[in-house]
Structure formats: structure tokens, C-alpha cells
């Protein structure tokens, strides 16, 4: 497939197992964004999902992978659906880890629906789709309250599936492929004999840059993995200066690169000197909020790498347990008591799989993740536009500037290791 745009796709699959052997948004020609004030519950949900995104970011940095890309929004949605199958202490653990403190389950569900609707309708020039689906073993009876909640709040398709049939895996894989524009294929190789449920979220984002890069300006340049190690990349360059929001946070710099009408942006964080990872150790949601508020429009000629990244997290379970979600991963009669109407043996989450893809080129990009971007600084005459060169490791993320919701996050540390 010829991808002229920057695409980002992600999905999360949660497999629920018994401890024994059982167990979009369409676009139109209207250019104006659909802005409105957020409700109090929507604001709480933005804070919850963004704080969860930062928690997960710090945990994933422990993997010591130079390049990462994922969708915290997608993971948060899939786990929020799973949350609805629980009560008592297990439900409280979901609420704490997903940062829903101060919200009831019903309030969280209602906010999830309305915030997703807001994001889908925000910018008619941005293509965004968010889809959910649940399959369960067909000889089980789904709990009516659980089905009603995920239908209403997450618009999840819920269906029984003959999980003993080897061909059933194609039902799930085909749905994933269809809802990621064919970019995520054959997610599952087989359905284990003790699987009883799959909860799946897929998110797709595609947009042009507000200020595009002229392909004739793209050149082969250096990207400094470390001050001593450089690799060659295709470096894009804007024709002239554009007004980009920028903030100098001392050891770190924050930049927003707008898409379309400017209501979706790629946020970038990079270190002024080396050691981005060290300087991000105390990175928090509050700091991100502060940088967003203090960023001001600055005339910048931007140079940044052209790249494509796919990142699959096969064992996200360990990372989620590390941030505090432990009870659902251990077989216990108290797990998922609101999932099925008929009694079952103890259940637990056996795996969480996440797969994400992003492509950035001169025309645009697609995102649903946090992005780490490291930018090299060039001294310039104060009367001339500054050249901002992203030629060293950086974190990057795609966000809605109105609500502050973070859809995707990523880190580019060594382009030479990308496929």
C-alpha cells in the first residue's frame, strides 16, 4: 500500500480466561471545527486517561526500547470495558489504575461515550475512527447489565462465537483489519481452548499537516542517537517560518505541530542537551498541562525526520500489573462477577496485546499515541525565524488541544532500528 500520509493505528485485545481449562467518524466538506465546552465529567475523563497515559509512559520506558509507539487512549478504552464486568475491590482497583478516582462507574461510562463523540466530530478535515467489539463463548450467557453498558457507552458490538472452531479466529482478525483500514492483519494466530471472551478496541487517525513540508526540501541528514552516535535519516524541512506553539521548560523543550485546522496537534518533547530519558524521569501530567498553557506562538522553520514505525506489545500484562492492576490478572472468584449471567469458574485476564503503526511524511501524519521527540537547537538572529531541528531523540504524541486528550504516544530514539 502506498502511504502518502502518516498513519497510526492501534488496537488492544484483552483475553479473559478461566483458571481451569474453561474459561468513525465520517468526514464532510465543512472546514470549521465543532467546538463546545466540555462537561465536568468529560474533563475528569480527560484527566483520567491522560494521567493513565503518563503512568504507562513511565512504565514502558523501563523496557529500554529506543523506539516506541502505542495508543494510551485505546488501552484505556479496552480496560474500561473490562472494568464494567467487575464489582467490589476488583472494580476499585480498575478505577484507581485507570485514574477514575472521584467518578462512579456510571459517570465514567457516560463520559467515555460523550468524549469519544466529541473527538470524532471535532475536526471534519481529520479522519478519526474509534471502534469496540466483544466476542464471548457462545455457550455462555452474557450478563444483561454488562452488555447494556458496553453497548451504550462504548458502542461495542457484542456477539457469541464458537471458539472451538479454528476458523473463528478469522472473525476477530477480519474485524480488526476492517477497522484499521487494512493495516493491522492477522492479530491472533489461534484462539486457546480456555478463552471465554475477547474485548477489542481499534483506533485510526489520519490528517494532513496544517503547514506542509515541500518534498523537494527533504534531504539526507544526521540524527544524533547520542552526541557520539549519528545515523542518517530523511529530514523534512518547511519552506518558511510557521507559527508553532513553543515553550522552553529549562532542560526540556515542548513544541506543538498542528494538523488540519489546528485542533489536533503532534506534541513534541525533546532535551536541549543529551540524556532525554533522565530529564523525563519527573515528567507528569501536571507538567504537560503547564507547558501547554505556557506555550506561545513562535515563528519556527521546522525540520524533522520522515519515518514509519510499528510497535507491538505482546506482553502488556506485566506493565499493567506493575502500575497497580493486579487482581484481574490472578484467577479469583471475585474477578468478572458481572460478566456472565451463568456461573463460571474463576476468571482472569491472561493477555493484553497492543499493536500500533505510525507513518510521518511531508503531507501529513496519523497518530494515537504519546510521542517523544528530541530536538537540536540552532542559535539564530532574534529578528529571524528560528530553525527547530528534531535531530536527536524525542517523545511525540497526538492530542486534541481543546480537551487535552492524548490519543497516541511514541518515542523516536534510533531511526536506524526501524523496519
Task: Kindly list the structural domains of the chain, giving each domain's residue range(s) and its CATH number in brackets, ordered by start.
Answer: 7-25+40-206+309-360 (3.30.497.10), 215-307+365-417 (2.30.39.10)
- The winner for highest mean pLDDT among 9-13, 228-232, 365-369 is 228-232
Q: What integer best gives the mean pLDDT of the chain? A: 83
The reported pLDDT for the residue numbered 317 is 86
* C-alpha to C-alpha distance for 384 and 366, rounded to whole angstroms: 31
pLDDT at 247 over 80: yes
pLDDT digits (tens, 9 = 90+) for 99-115: 998 899 999 999 999 99
Report the first-to-last Cα separation within the chain, whole angstroms. Answer: 15
**Res 60: pLDDT:** 93
Query: Based on the number of CB atoms within 10 Å of its own CB, is 377 exposed (0-12), middle (13-18) or buried (19 or more)?
Result: middle
State the cell numbers at 27: 468526514
Q: Which residues of 230-242 are buried (b: 16+ CB within 10 A; e: fewer)?
A: eeebbbbbbeebb
Q: Average pLDDT in the 66-78 region?
A: 91
Name the more confident of 179 and 366: 179
- C-alpha to C-alpha distance for 154 and 171, rounded to whole angstroms: 20
| Mean pLDDT, rounded, for 314-343 | 87
Average pLDDT over residues 291-319: 90
**What are the pLDDT digits (tens) for 41-70?**
899 999 999 999 999 999 999 988 899 989
Strands 296-305 and 307-313: unpaired
Per the CB < 8 A criterion, the answer to whether 408 and 367 are in contact is yes
User: How far, in Å, CA of 235 to CA of 390, rounded?
Assistant: 9
Lowest mean pLDDT among 1-5, 120-124, 226-230, 341-345: 1-5
Amino acid at each position: 500500500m502506498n502511504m502518502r500520509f502518516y498513519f497510526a493505528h492501534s488496537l488492544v485485545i484483552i483475553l479473559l480466561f478461566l483458571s481451569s481449562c474453561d474459561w468513525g467518524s465520517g468526514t464532510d466538506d465543512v472546514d470549521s471545527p465543532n467546538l463546545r465546552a466540555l462537561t465536568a465529567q468529560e474533563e475528569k475523563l480527560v484527566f483520567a486517561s491522560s494521567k493513565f497515559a503518563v503512568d504507562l509512559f513511565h512504565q514502558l520506558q523501563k523496557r529500554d526500547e529506543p523506539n516506541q509507539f502505542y495508543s494510551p487512549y485505546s488501552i484505556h478504552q479496552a480496560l474500561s470495558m473490562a472494568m464494567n464486568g467487575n464489582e467490589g475491590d476488583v472494580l476499585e482497583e480498575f478505577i484507581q489504575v485507570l485514574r477514575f478516582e472521584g467518578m462512579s462507574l456510571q459517570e465514567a461510562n457516560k463520559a467515555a461515550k460523550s468524549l469519544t463523540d466529541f473527538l470524532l466530530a471535532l475536526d471534519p478535515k481529520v479522519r478519526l475512527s474509534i471502534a469496540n467489539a466483544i466476542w464471548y463463548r457462545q455457550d455462555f450467557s452474557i450478563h444483561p447489565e454488562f452488555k447494556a453498558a458496553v453497548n451504550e457507552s462504548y458502542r461495542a458490538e457484542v456477539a457469541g462465537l464458537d471458539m472451538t472452531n479454528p476458523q473463528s479466529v478469522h472473525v476477530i482478525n477480519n474485524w480488526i483489519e476492517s477497522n484499521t483500514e487494512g493495516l493491522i492483519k492477522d492479530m491472533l494466530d489461534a484462539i486457546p481452548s480456555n478463552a471465554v471472551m475477547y474485548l477489542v478496541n481499534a483506533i485510526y487517525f489520519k490528517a494532513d499537516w496544517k503547514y506542509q513540508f515541500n518534498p523537494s526540501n527533504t534531504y539526507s541528514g544526521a540524527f544524533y542517537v547520542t552526541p557520539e552516535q549519528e545515523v542518517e535519516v530523511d529530514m523534512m524541512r518547511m519552506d518558511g517560518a510557521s507559527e508553532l506553539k513553543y515553550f522552553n521548560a529549562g532542560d526540556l523543550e515542548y513544541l506543538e505541530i498542528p494538523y488540519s485546522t489546528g485542533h489536533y496537534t503532534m506534541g513534541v518533547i525533546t532535551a536541549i542537551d543529551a540524556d532525554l530519558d533522565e530529564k523525563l524521569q519527573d515528567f507528569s501530567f501536571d507538567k504537560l498541562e503547564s507547558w501547554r498553557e505556557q506555550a506561545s506562538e513562535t515563528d519556527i522553520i521546522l525540520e524533522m525526520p520522515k519515518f514509519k514505525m510499528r510497535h507491538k506489545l505482546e506482553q502488556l500484562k506485566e506493565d499493567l500489573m506493575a502500575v497497580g492492576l493486579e487482581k484481574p490478572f490472578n484467577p479469583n472468584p471475585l474477578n468478572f462477577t458481572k460478566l456472565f449471567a451463568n456461573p463460571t469458574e474463576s476468571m482472569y485476564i491472561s493477555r493484553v496485546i497492543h499493536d500500533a503503526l505510525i507513518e510521518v511524511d511531508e503531507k501529513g501524519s496519523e497518530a494515537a499515541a504519546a510521542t517523544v521527540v528530541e530536538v537540536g537547537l540552532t542559535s539564530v538572529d532574534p529578528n529571524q525565524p528560528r530553525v527547530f531541528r528534531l535531530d536527536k531523540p524525542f517523545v511525540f504524541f497526538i492530542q486534541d488541544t481543546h480537551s487535552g486528550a492524548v490519543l497516541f504516544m511514541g518515542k523516536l530514539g534510533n531511526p536506524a532500528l526501524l523496519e
